[in-house]
Copies of this chain bind each other. A is one copy, B any other.
Amino acid sequence: MQKQENKKDYQVQFTLSKIVNLMFSTTYDPKTGKGDVIANVSIINKHDLNRVLEIFKTAMMSGLTVSPFIKILHEGESIGDLTIKEGKIGLATMCSITIDGILLKRGILVNPKFGGLVQIEEGSPVRFTDVLTYASTSIDPLEALMSQEITSVTQMISTGSGKILANLREVPIAARYDIDHVLSDIMDAGLSGILEVGEPNRKILDVPIERDHLGIVVIGGTNPMAIVREHGIPIETNAMSTIVDITEMSDIKDINL
């Protein structure tokens, strides 16, 4: 067991290299509504299921995530490398890097930059207050930020102000009009996570952008998990853990609690 783990750990894998592989594996087409998306998988205790689904529903209906789609995994069921243990439930939800996969498959060279916290004031995103770049960390930025207990997603839902998880990618200015089309297709398909699209060569949410690029900020798919943590309910989140066929997922509004 220990030996096997050593093998896997032989070289440090930065988050970015994991992301680009998952982006390549994304086949979801917002026009047909079919294909594979990137999923975050959260593990909770079975007896917390109803409370957690209630929180997820509120977060997803408030647009505090990429999509309302969810797959519930019961004891013994598997997803990716993960098998759900006794007494546990797995919740697969869409990861915001799916948006990068969709852009890539439309031929747009998208560069995922970082995960961070965005301060929202009276419903409007103001600035990034914390940042971890994908190219220089081997642990997932949003998992790291979530565990620092500096999010205030619950407060954001109730008051309109707070700090939520979000991430930034840069796209070249040449792809500007294509981006508008793809993003509008994404929204037509019921995905809701686009928080802000920047102007070319302009800062976005107080963060500078590379020359001849523009920034796109997407809401982190892990905000519902941050709320669950903020409520003191145990949840273990594996962000960007695997791909899943979207037809295996259901809209959370169709799930009866």
Contacts and interface: CB of A to CB of B under 8 A. Distances in A.
Contact of A12 (B131, B135, B138, B144): B131
A10 interface: yes
A17 B119 CA distance: 21
Interface string A148-177: 101000000000010000000000000000
A136 interface: yes
A69 interface: no
Given A136-B136, A136-B137, A161-B2, A9 B147 contact: no
A20 interface: no
Given A9-B127, A206-B11, A138 B144 contact: no
A169 to B, nearest CB: 15
A256 interface: no
Nearest to A6: B119
A143 interface: yes
Interface of A: 2, 6, 9-12, 14, 114, 116, 119, 121, 127-133, 135-139, 141, 143-145, 147-148, 150, 161, 206-207
24 contacts: A6-B121, A9-B119, A10-B127, A10-B206, A11-B206, A12-B128, A12-B129, A12-B131, A129-B138, A130-B138, A131-B136, A131-B137, A131-B138, A132-B132, A132-B138, A132-B139, A133-B133, A133-B136, A133-B137, A137-B141, A139-B144, A144-B148, A147-B147, A147-B148
